[in-house]
Each structure stands twice: as structure tokens, then as C-alpha cells.
Structure 1
Amino acid sequence: MKLKFPFSKKTDGSKPEKSKKREWLNALIFALVASALIRGLIFSAYAIPSGSMEGTLLTGDYLFVSKISYGARMPFTPIQNPFLESTITKYQVKTYWDGIKLPYFRLPGFSTLQKGDIVVFNKPEEADPSYDKPVDVRTNLIKRCQATPGDVLTIVNSQVFINGKAAPNAEKAQTSYEVITDGNTINPEIFHDLGIEIVGQSDLSTYTMIIPASHLAEFKGYSYIRKVTPVIDPAGHYDAEIFPHSEKFKWNMDNFGPLTLPKRGMTIFLNDSTMVLYRRAIELYEHNQVEMKGTDILINGKRADHYTFKMNYYWMMGDNRHNSMDSRFWGYVPEDHVIGKAMITWLSIDSAENLLNKVRWNRILKPIR
């Protein structure tokens, strides 16, 4: 039996046709909701703005990033515009409201994060209080995972070692070299064809260049090349920009560690050295109040001689080793900062080329590895 409501118009039993405006509005709302759900739970599109992953990924590549691979991360700040950057820089306008903050939660995924995966994540450096940003609106970065929770990472003369074994280098990894020539001018087309970038020149015959490994032998073979030597910061040279930013550990970007990556449930003893290495994780990522009073270490007001980690942590580095701000500079990446796994390049634009050659057709729908 059909219910009747007071003051309702009589009908002949057929539904009135929706207006065109109403149909368009419903379609728009459905499209926005569907795209927000897909973007939040399944995959998102990202662009490569810099050269830290050259030549695996190129500036101008557009990627699909799978969020279901490791499990979709639920929003920390549920009220935000998912289609805009977190801040419209020109006007310093936030596109989110952080009046509501939810705890970290991730849906089950199809796999776990593995060494060698290319991963999109939020920038851990922006956990510093000066940034005042919730995790999910921090800058998005993309790097390759070099170490997973519990691994011991060491870098010796720019070669990464994991648990004492040399880690495989990316097929198209590149780094910088000192190049000495005979002083003659080099045809610029050679740099373009071989993907070589000049980053410095000290005199007419001495350059610093970033050279892809795949073209190194060919470049050395030119008659005007006298010597090509890898640029490596020597062991024992302290670089204050390198994590953990303490002279207690005289590390640099080419010689680093050993460092054990924190793992959920792993317990460490607290002393001067471990506090230098792990205080950031304990305090900023796992949200504890840490104080040093003489020889005593206080966590949340209580004296402590050990600490058990609540999260897993990863080590991320760019394939373009001497042109990448990565874990060597700001340390390990907590699991709650991980967004997803880069899967495929769906478009690639070379801004340096003319209109007819802007699209890199050989990179369209190219799997990422």
C-alpha cells in the first residue's frame, strides 16, 4: 500500500521527470564523491617535479600510485579538499581544517613495503613543530626504499649495504663524477643524448657531472675525455647536514652508518648515543615528551632506561644519489607517513623540448621498477 503525505500533490502514479539542472547536479556530486573515494582508497596521480629519481623517473613524469598495495591510509585530517595542495602558496591559504585530528589507521593491503619499492610518502622533516602540519598534508616525496624495519644500513663509498650485504643498485641509477677533458669545448648535444648534467666547472678542463651508469662507458670513450673519477665524500668527514646532525657520528652522504632501522616492538637501551639516533622517532613520530636531566632520561615525566617502538620505520633514497634530499638528510620514514607504491607512468612531458617533441611517447603506460 502506498503511503500518502499531507499536502502532497496528486499524481497520476508516474514520477515527475527530473530537471536537466538536477540531473547535472546529481551527476557532478556522484563524480566528486567517486573520484574522492578512488583517490583516497585505491590510487592517486602524482607528478615528478625534480630530478632526485633520475634516470628511473624523469622530471615531468606523471604517475599512478597504488594505495591498496600497502593498504589505504585513513585521513588524519578528514576535512580537506582532496583535489588541491594543502596550502595555496601564493595566498598562504590552507585547504584543510585541522580542528579534527584522527589517529593513524591503515586498511589491510595486498602486500608489505619491500626493499627496492618506489614509494610515495609525506616528508618526515615537516614533523618539526615549526611546520605545524598534520601528517597527511605534508609535502609528498617519492624515493626508493633501501632498508626496512630491523635492517642494519651502512653506506660505504656510496654503495649501500643492508645487513652486511651490498644492496643492488637501480638499473638506471646515477651519481656525480669529476671529469677532466683536454680543454676543448664539448658538443652540448652529447650531454643531451647521454642524459648528462653539468653541475659545476672549476676551470676550462675540469667539470663535475652527473652521469647515468648506462652511458658512463660510452662517455669515457670519447677522445677528449682524459679522466672520469667518482665524487665520493671520504669516510670520517663530518657533514652537519647529514642525519643525525651530530659530531658524535661523523657521517656523510657517501659514508654513513651503521644504523639499525626501528621496528615495531623493538626495544633499545637509552643512552647518549641512542638518544642522538632515535630521539626524533620517540619524540616527534611517536608523540612522547622527552627530557634530558643530567644523566637521566625522562619520557613523559618518568625516568626511563629503555624504549619500545610503536611503529615501523623505513629508509628512502633517490636513485640520483648526489642530487637527492632523502633519508640521509632527515632520517628514517615512519610507517604512518607512507602513502603508496608507484606503479606506472601514464604520461611524461619534457618541458625543455619544443611543442612537437614535448611528449615522451616511450614512457607512456610504462611500469615503474
Structure 2
Amino acid sequence: MDYFLTYSVYVLIISVLMGLSTWKLFKIMGYNPLFAFVPFYNYYIVLKETGHSKWWAILSYLPIIGPIMMTVFHLFLMSHFGKSSFVQKLLTIILPFIYMASVNYSKDPEVQKEELYLTNEEHLEKKKDTFVGSITFAVVFATVIHIFVTQPFGIPTGSMERTLMVGDFLFVNKWSYGYRMPMRPVAIPFLQGTIMDTGEKGNPKDDPKSYVEGVKLPYLRLLQLKKPKKNDIVVFNYPQDSVHTAIDRKDPYVKRCVAVAGDVLEFRAGKLSINGKPEQILGDQQMQHKYIATTGSQLDIPALYRTYGFLPVQEVQTQNGFLYDFQGLTDKTAKEIRELPQIIELKEHIWEKDTPGVSYKVNAARDAYTKNIDTTQSIFPINKGWNQDWYGPLRIPKKGDVVTLNQETLPEYQWIISEYEHHHLENKNGKIFIDGKEATQYTIQQDYYMMIGDNRDASLDARFFGFVPEENIVGSPMFTWLSVEGLFADNSSTYQPAGKTIRWDRMFKATNTGELHKTSYWWVAVLILGLFFGWDYIMKLFKKKEEDI
């Protein structure tokens, strides 16, 4: 209800501005001036009087799409009153209600009369308007699909190898777990969080945003017929993104949901168990591990890459040979590499128990890896002393859980209380305060999940950033519509493949079935294209019929 109440206020404000700036123009067009204040109907009249498709009025107040359509309708209206120069169009776009008001309250605004016979220049202008209308329709159609149906995402890292590969581009179903309504209704379509990256020297928080932060709506999810379950591949907004406060504008991540609200998760020597039982391995899920190889001579990494595909590796020369850090080998791949003549030793890397998360760096003088505390990737929660392979047991919070708050448990729940459930949290003088009141307990207000990559030793996942709130969940991948090897640089690997190659065998294949042999979805691509061009053709016929009448 909070969402619709806030949305109604937003619509009311825009409608009042529209009415105050155009009521006189509506009167001149032969309508009751009060109609200028009526949401949707005001733009219906504008489209009717300017000779455009009237059904577009439905889009006028929708989140994200609405501001675009309103701008188009304002341009139609101003052109109808003869305000069609470049400067007048620019003013209509950047100062819509102010410029329209200046026209509205001018002495004698008049409707631009249509001539029976058009000059060549006027014919060209009309063709230009038709072309612009077609482009506008294409943008609006794509925006509607992008916002309300499915959204494309790319896979830039190897955390889900070899289920999802680096260079895969996915279509994500936004209705999988109920549709999450947009929270920033005024935004540039197709951009996630920022318009551009100012580079490494700049502060990411200063990058120009693709949305208006001040216009916001609360969280609301419609038609939630199911929730994420164990083994689902899920797309979600990164919970601890410090650049964007808007939940739906935080960076998108994709991982496997390994535990849901109420489950108890634990890693022992790299082996995952849920509620005391070993995890279920699906048909398309190839478990991978980190291996350290010692060799007497250099390996042919490009040849290995061609044989095994994704193969992130760090190569370091030592006094006695080479050390290789393979971040993601399956048991089968590890067995075959171990048989190479150059290999002296290939050993799976398991973190030592009761050792906090650390990184390894090569000490070439000692032909060995030495431990270095990695402060950039702290294991969650920070006070447990866990690592990637010895983690938990940890219970995933569930809506309605009443948890104990003290100095020991606070690191586990502080992000939930302060960031995800939006309370004012203070920890002072050994006491915990929530919204100004001392608290020893807290009731969880939404479900949480643990999202972890299939490539366990090369994945920045929930072991680092903690629980994923339900409100951050976007949906689930439907299929891979494009897959390009070598498209993204892999900072985890010394070797980078030369050139870019399309993986035709992965295109339009389902991604979230758990099955080894994937279903092809070529028909979906044909259907989407058919809907687009078919609808455009029908609308043109409908418009031509109206003109003939």
C-alpha cells in the first residue's frame, strides 16, 4: 500500500503541473480545461488532437517509461501550437512545464492549421516525424520489455563457471519470484546505475547517476507465487554496493542459491552441507576447486585453454621451475593435468581450519606461497575467524525470527538492521540501540538467502558480503542469447585468449534447469521479433484506417 500511495502522490503532482501549464491550450482545442488535470486522459486528448496513436496514453505515467512518453507528448502538443523550432523543442524537453506554461499564458496561442497542399519541405518534415515516431515506438517497446518483462545481463567473471561462462549474455525473467516494482521511477532506460565511469582516479560515488535519487518509491513485489529455492540460479542486486542507495540500481550479481531462509549452512574442508546433509549436485553443475601446481618447466597454457576452455591461472617463475595457481579445476580436469610430464605436484588447496580468510602471494626466493591477510575481502561475519573452506555453521535469517543482540552477534545482524531493514542502529558504551531504544532482541522483517558461486574458490559471494535480502532479488536467468569467448578481460588469469569467438552451441539455451542437456529457446527470439514487427505493422494499419475515415 505504501508503494501505491507514494505512486499516487507522484501522479497527482505531475497531473497538477500538466493542468496548470496547459489548461488554456485544452480550452482552445475545444475541451473542458479541467481535462488537462486528469491523469492519462489529458495525454489521450493530446494524442487524439495531434493525430498519434491514442493507446500510447496508457504509458504516460508508468515508472521510467512515463517521463520519456510525457516528453514526446509535450513535443507533440507544442508542435500542434506551432512551437517546433530547435530552441522551442529543447525548452520543451528540459523545462517542460515552465515552457508550456509560457505558451499557455501567452496572449493568443493558436493551433497550427494544416494546409491542404504541402510543400516539398513540409513533406520531408512529415516523413521525418514519421521516422522519429517509429524510432520512438522501438525505444518504448524495448523499454517496456526491459523494465517489466525481461532484462539482459552479461557474465564478466568466472564465479559461476562452467554453468554460466565468462562472456555469456542472459535474459533474466523478472517474474520468476514475483515482479519487483521499480523504486526510482525517473531514470534513463537501459542503464543500471551510472551514465558513465569516470575512471580509476575518480570516486565511483561521484559518477553521474542514471536515475533521479530524490524521486523514490518503496519496495513492492507483485504476484509472488514462489520464492527462490535451493539450487536455483538467481540474479540479485549486490547488497553491499556503497555507490548506490537505490536497491534496484545496485550492481547485478548472479550466483546459485545454496541455502534459503531458516536453513543452516556449513563448509567443512571445502565441502558444503545444508541442515547437516551434503549439498545436492545438479546435472549441469560442475564443481571446481583451487589447485596449486609445481612444475619443472613451463606449461603450455594456451594449449590447455583450448582443451579445457575457461582456465584462470596465475603463473610465477621460481628458482626451481614454475608455480601455477589454477582457480577452477574440476576433478576430471585436475586428473588429466596431473598426468602432464611437467607436473611435479598438483595439490588441491584447502584453507586451514580456524584460520581467518587470507590471500596467498608467491615468494619466489622460497619457491612457495606465503600467507597475507586480505583486508579487501573479509569473511562474513568479521568476528568469527572463518574462511572459505571452513565456514559456519550459520543459520540463514527468516522473516519472524527473533534474534538475540549482543556484542558477539551484532556483526551478523548489523547490516540487516541498519541497511536492509532501514533502522537507525547505534552501538555505544557496550549497549545496542535501535531507533533510539536499547535492544537485546530483534525481529527479522524479511527472508534472506545465501548466494554462492559454483566456482567456489574464485567467487566473491555470500561468504564475503553476507545474507542477500529478498528485496534485492531480481529474478532468474531464462536462457543465454549470446556467448562470446574472450570478450571480458580476466584479471584472475595470466593468460588472456587472443581474439573473440562466438560460442554458437550456447546461444538460446536454457540456463536454470539443472539439466545436463539444455533446451533450445530459438523460438523465443523469433516470437519477440514477431511481436515487435507485427505490432508495429498493425498499429500502422490502424492509423491508416483512422486517417481514411
Q: TM (normalized to structure 2)?
A: 0.60
> Tell me, what secondary structure is at the counterpart of 2:400?
coil
Task: State the partner residue of 2:334.
Answer: 216
Higher deviation after alignment, 312-321 or 210-219: 210-219
Which amino acid counterpart does residue 156 of structure 2 have in structure 1? P
What letter matches 2:254 in structure 1? Answer: I
Q: Matches of 1:120 and 1:339 in 2, distance apart?
A: 6
Code of the residue aligned with 1:100 in structure 2: it is V
Task: Identify the match of residue 229 of structure 2 among 101, 111, 114.
Answer: 114
Q: CA deviation at 1:212?
A: 2.9
How far off is 1:11 after superposition? 11
Looking at structure 1, the residues matched to 246 and 275 of structure 2 have their Cα atoms a distance apart, in angstroms, of 33
Distance in 1, Cα, partners of 2:114 & 2:343: 91
Offset at 1:20? 3.0
Pick aligned residue for 1:41 from 148, 151, 156: 148
Question: Aligned residue for 1:313?
Answer: 448
The answer as to 2:303 corresponding to 1:174 is no
Conserved 8 A contact 2:397-2:444: yes
User: Which of 282, 299, 304 is residue 186 of structure 1 equivalent to?
Assistant: 299
Structure 2 residue 337 is matched with structure 1 residue 228: no
- Would you say the 8 A contact 1:242–1:253 is kept in 2? no
Matched residues in 2 for 1:242 and 1:162: separation? Answer: 23
Query: In the alignment, does 2:264 pair up with 1:158?
Result: no
Gaps of 5+ in 2: 1-28, 32-109, 117-122, 200-206, 358-374, 487-495, 513-549
Structure 1 residue ranges, 4+ long, deviating more than 4 angstroms after superposition? 4-12, 352-355
More strand by proportion, 1 or 2?
Answer: 1
Structure 2: how far apart are the matches of 1:264 and 1:329?
A: 22
CA drift of 1:69 comes to: 0.8
Aligned partner of 2:312 in structure 1 is 197
1:105 aligns with 2:220: yes
Asked if residue 27 in structure 1 is aligned to residue 134 in structure 2, the reply is yes
Q: Which has the higher contact order (CA 8 A, sep 6+)?
A: 1
Aligned-partner Cα distance in 1 for 2:114–2:483: 59
1:211 Cα deviation from its structure 2 partner = 4.0
Q: Deviations over 1:152-203 (max 9, x none)?
A: 111111111111111134622322112233x133233124312333224363
How many equivalent pairs are there?
356
| 1:124 equivalent among 206, 216, 239 | 239
**Partner AA of 1:359 in structure 2:** I
Instruction: Name the counterpart of 1:276.
Output: 411
- Contact 2:356 2:379 survives alignment (8 Å): no
SS at match of 2:337: helix
Aligned to 1:72: 179
Q: Does the CA-based 8 Å contact 2:235-2:474 persist in structure 1?
A: yes
Residues 1:205 and 1:353: Cα distance change in structure 2 (over 3 Å): closer
The normalised TM-score by structure 1 is 0.88
Identity of aligned residues (%): 34
For 2:418 and 2:224, how far apart are their aligned partners in 1? 28
2:503 counterpart (356, 360, 363): 360
- Deviation at residue 353 of structure 1 after TM alignment: 5.7
Report the AA paired with residue 458 of structure 2: N
Bigger helix share? 2
| More moved, 200-209 vs 115-124 | 200-209
> Which blocks of at least 5 consecutive residues in structure 1 are unaligned?
none
- Indicate if the aligned counterparts of 1:172 and 1:212 stay in contact, CA closer than 8 A: no
Cα 1:10–1:115 shift into 2, 3 Å: closer
2:169 pairs with 1:56:
no
> Over alpha carbons, which structure has the higher Rg?
2
Specify the alignment match of 1:341 in structure 2. 476
Question: C-alpha distance in 2, partners of 1:271/1:200?
Answer: 46
Shift of 1:217: 2.4
Say what the alpha-carbon RMSD is for the aligned residues.
2.7
User: Higher mean Cα deviation, 295-304 or 188-197?
Assistant: 188-197
Structure 1 position 298, deviation (Å)? 1.4
Residue 90 of structure 1 deviates from its aligned partner by 3.1
Task: Assess if the C-alpha contact under 8 Å between 1:118 and 1:143 holds in 2.
Answer: yes
Corresponding residue SS for 1:272 = coil
Q: Is the 8 A contact 1:69 1:340 kept in 2?
A: yes
